C-alpha cells in the first residue's frame, strides 16, 4: 500500500484487505483451525448461494456422501462444481451501502465460504433490528472510516509526513507554478490546496496527472477541464475464471463506473486484439486514476476484476490508454455465466 502511495496511485486499501486478510487469513484460520463451515460478514452484498447460504444443508449432505464415493467420482464432481457451479456476486438491495466494489477481487473459493446476511436489507433496517435487539448504543455508533489494519500506524504516518518536494506544472503550457511536498499526498481530480504556488486561478487548480518517476504534479484550471476526462481506454485481458464474455468482433453493452459512489454509465466493450479490450463509455469519465477499480455491468452479476495501472493521459485531451482492474457484471437474463479473479 505504501509503495502504491509512493508511486502516486489512488489507493483503495479495503479491496486488498478483503482479498488478503479478511477473506484469506481470517477465513483459513476459522475454517482450518476452528472447523467452521462459513464466515458471515457485515458487507452489503449478495451471492448466488443466498444471503444465509441456503444450499448449506445440501452441501453438507453431499460432503457426507463423499466418504462412499470412488476417487474418479469425486474428481468428476469437483470438475463439475468448478466449471459449472461458480458463485456469482450480486449488488446489495441498498444501493448507497452496496460494497461489491470492495469485494470485486475475491476468488471463487473465497466466495463459496462467505455469507452476506445484510445483502437483502437496507442500513436503516439493520439499525432498526439492532435497536429491537437491545443494541441501541451500537446502532447509534458512528461508522468506521479509513485504514484499520496498520496497527499504531507509526510507519505509515512517518511515510505520509515525509517531504518529497517536486514541481507543480500547468499542463496547458508547461509553466512551473510552484512546488509540492510529495506525489503521495495527491489524487487525480482533486483540487490543489497549496499556498506556495506562484500564481493563482479563480477557477482553482486540479490534479490532472501524476508523474511519480519524475516527481511532478501536473495541474489544470477548473474542475471540468477536458484533460480530466477519458473518452475511451484500453484494458489488458483479465484472468477469466470461465468463458470470455467479450469474444472476437463482439461488442458488449455494459455499464461502468470507476468509483463506488459514481452512478453507472452505459458503455461499449469490444475486443481489440487477443489480449486487449477497448472500453468506450457513453459519457467521458472524470479522474480515472491508477489504483482504482473500473466496474462494468448491465445488472448485478460479477464477472471479472483487474487492477487499474499504467494510466496515461494524452496531451490531445481526448483519449487515454489504461490497463486496469475491471469487474464486469453479466445480465441476469443471459444463460451463460462467467467468473474470474484478478492476477496476482
Active site residues: 17, 148
| Separation between Cα atoms, residue 55 and residue 151, nearest integer Å | 38
Contacts of 119 by beta carbon, 8 Å cutoff, 6+ apart: 43, 44, 45, 46, 47, 51, 90, 92, 93
DSSP E strands, the chain: 39-40, 45-47, 89-91, 114-115, 166-170, 176-180, 205-211, 216-221, 229-230, 233-236, 251-257, 265-273, 276-281, 285-286, 293-297, 301-302, 309-313, 320-323, 325-330
Residue 133 half-sphere exposure toward CB, CA atoms < 13 A: 9
| Separation between Cα atoms, residue 179 and residue 40, nearest integer Å | 48
Q: How far is CA 101 from CA 96, 292, 337, in A?
A: 12, 10, 19
| Separation between Cα atoms, residue 28 and residue 279, nearest integer Å | 37
Contact (CB, 8 A) for 201 and 248: no
Contact (CB, 8 A) for 160 and 5: yes
Closest CA to 49 of 99, 122, 111, 91: 111
| Separation between Cα atoms, residue 333 and residue 295, nearest integer Å | 19
Based on its alpha-carbon atoms, the radius of gyration of the chain, rounded to whole angstroms, reads 23
Sheet containing 216-221: order of strands: 176-180, 166-170, 216-221, 205-211
Amino acid at each position: 500500500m505504501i509503495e502504491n502511495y509512493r508511486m502516486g496511485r489512488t489507493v483503495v486499501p479495503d479491496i486488498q484487505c478483503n482479498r488478503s486478510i479478511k477473506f484469506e487469513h481470517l477465513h483459513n484460520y476459522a475454517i482450518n483451525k476452528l472447523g467452521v463451515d462459513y464466515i458471515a460478514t457485515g458487507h452489503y452484498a449478495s451471492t448466488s448461494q443466498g444471503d444465509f447460504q441456503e444450499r448449506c444443508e445440501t452441501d453438507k449432505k453431499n460432503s457426507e456422501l463423499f466418504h462412499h464415493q470412488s476417487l474418479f467420482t469425486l474428481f468428476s464432481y469437483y470438475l463439475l462444481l468448478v466449471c459449472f457451479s461458480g458463485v456469482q456476486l450480486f449488488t446489495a438491495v441498498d444501493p448507497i451501502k452496496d460494497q461489491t466494489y470492495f469485494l470485486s477481487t475475491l476468488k471463487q473459493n473465497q466466495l463459496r465460504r462467505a455469507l452476506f446476511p445484510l445483502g437483502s436489507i437496507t442500513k436503516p433496517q439493520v439499525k432498526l433490528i439492532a435497536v429491537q435487539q437491545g443494541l441501541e448504543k451500537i446502532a447509534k455508533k458512528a461508522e468506521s472510516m479509513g485504514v484499520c489494519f496498520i496497527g499504531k500506524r507509526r510507519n505509515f504516518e512517518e511515510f505520509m509526513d515525509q517531504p518529497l518536494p517536486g514541481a507543480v506544472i500547468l499542463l496547458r503550457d508547461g509553466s512551473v507554478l510552484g512546488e509540492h511536498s510529495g506525489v503521495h499526498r495527491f489524487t487525480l481530480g482533486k483540487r490543489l490546496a497549496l499556498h506556495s504556488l506562484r500564481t493563482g486561478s479563480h477557477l482553482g487548480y486540479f490534479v490532472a496527472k501524476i508523474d511519480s518517476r519524475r516527481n511532478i504534479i501536473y495541474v489544470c484550471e477548473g474542475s471540468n477541464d477536458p484533460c480530466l476526462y477519458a473518452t475511451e481506454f484500453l484494458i489488458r485481458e483479465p484472468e477469466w475464471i470461465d468463458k470470455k464474455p467479450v469474444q472476437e468482433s463482439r461488442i458488449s453493452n455494459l455499464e461502468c463506473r470507476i468509483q463506488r459512489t459514481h452512478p453507472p454509465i452505459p458503455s461499449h466493450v469490444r475486443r481489440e486484439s487477443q489480449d486487449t479490450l477497448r472500453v468506450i463509455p457513453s459519457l467521458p469519465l472524470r479522474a480515472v486514476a491508477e489504483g482504482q477499480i473500473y466496474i462494468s455491468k448491465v445488472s448485478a452479476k460479477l464477472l471479472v476484476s483487474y487492477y487499474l495501472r499504467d494510466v496515461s493521459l494524452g496531451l490531445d485531451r481526448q483519449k487515454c490508454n489504461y490497463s486496469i482492474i475491471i469487474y464486469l457484471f453479466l445480465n441476469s437474463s443471459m444463460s451463460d455465466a462467467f467468473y474470474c479473479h484478478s492476477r496476482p
